[in-house]
């Protein structure tokens, strides 16, 4: 079944960002953590955590996955207030409108199975703006592996230390996501992708629950 490139989100983008920010702040407060403690555990600047909580920044995947690590919660908890934990024999369906939605300056994330925690994979749909409209201050990188499949349009992928790659609809890429990377639509219209990331479970097990260190 074809997935439309410009399907409107089930939630207003501004409302979704505000809900994400409020959820992150509430989780931190419920766990009795300071912004400094979360930032230290996450490897993020204190100012970054503060801006996310105050809805002054819509974080990219690497930052919101780091934030989840710093909070000591599953990534799903940043996108849904309640849900279930994946267990042997689990069988879960995600239908249109069930996604956890977050729009950033360059990307639109539609997190699949936002109510399911304890997964080893993080699947998401995404919409990429045209390359000329993108504004990047850095490449994205995070522990683990990443699978990219182009659903509609053409995508240009830039990876640290490598020549750029162009992928058309139906083509895919698999790589070490610890290598800095960026995606953009190679055409003058948005592109639609499916992306699956792994590695959060391993990264979570390596986080020190009681870090001590200077402000980032």
**Where are the domains positioned within the chain?**
13-81, 120-200
State residue 212's pLDDT score.
Answer: 36
**DSSP letter, residue 211:** -
Query: Helix count (H) and strand count (E) of the chain?
Result: 5, 11
- What's the token pair of residue 138? 């850095």
Q: Whole-angstrom distance between the N-terminal and C-terminal Cα of the chain?
A: 46
13-81 and 120-200 agree in CATH topology: no
The CATH classification number of 120-200 equals 2.60.120.10
Longest dimension (CA), the chain: 51
State residue 13's pLDDT score.
Answer: 87
Q: Residue 117's closest CA among 80, 81, 76, 148?
A: 76
State residue 210's pLDDT score.
Answer: 43
State residue 26's pLDDT score.
Answer: 96
State residue 35's pLDDT score.
Answer: 97
State residue 82's pLDDT score.
Answer: 75
State residue 202's pLDDT score.
Answer: 53
| pLDDT string in tens for the chain (216-residue length) | 444 444 444 568 899 999 999 999 999 999 999 999 999 999 999 999 999 999 999 998 889 999 999 999 988 889 988 778 999 999 999 999 899 999 988 889 999 999 898 888 999 999 999 988 888 778 888 889 999 999 999 999 999 999 999 999 999 999 999 999 999 999 999 999 999 999 765 544 554 444 433 333
Q: What is the sign, positive or negative, of the torsion defined by CA atoms of 193, 110, 204, 60?
A: positive
Strands (E), 112-178: 116-117, 121-128, 145-152, 154-159, 165-168, 172-176
State residue 106's pLDDT score.
Answer: 84
Range 13-81: architecture per CATH = Orthogonal Bundle (1.10)
Q: Which residues pair with 74 in a beta bridge?
A: none
């Amino acid at each position: 079944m074809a997935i439309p490139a410009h399907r409107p989100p089930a939630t207003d983008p501004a409302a979704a960002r505000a809900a994400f920010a409020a959820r992150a702040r509430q989780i931190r407060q419920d766990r009795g953590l300071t912004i400094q403690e979360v930032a230290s555990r996450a490897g993020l600047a204190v100012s970054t955590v503060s801006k996310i909580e105050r809805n002054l920044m819509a974080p990219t995947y690497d930052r919101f996955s780091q934030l989840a690590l710093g909070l000591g919660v599953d990534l799903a908890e940043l996108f849904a207030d309640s849900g279930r934990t994946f267990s042997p024999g689990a069988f879960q369906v995600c239908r249109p409108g069930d996604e956890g939605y977050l729009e950033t300056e360059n990307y639109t994330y539609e997190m699949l199975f936002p109510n399911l925690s304890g997964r080893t994979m993080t699947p998401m749909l995404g919409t990429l703006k045209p390359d000329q409209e993108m504004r990047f201050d850095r490449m994205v990188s995070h522990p683990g592996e990443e699978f990219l499949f182009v659903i509609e349009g053409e995508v240009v992928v830039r990876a640290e230390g490598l020549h750029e790659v162009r992928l058309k609809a139906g083509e895919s890429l698999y790589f070490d996501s610890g290598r800095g990377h960026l995606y953009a639509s190679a055409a003058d219209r948005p592109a639609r992708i499916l992306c699956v990331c792994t590695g959060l479970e391993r990264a979570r097990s390596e986080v020190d629950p009681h870090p001590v260190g200077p402000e980032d």
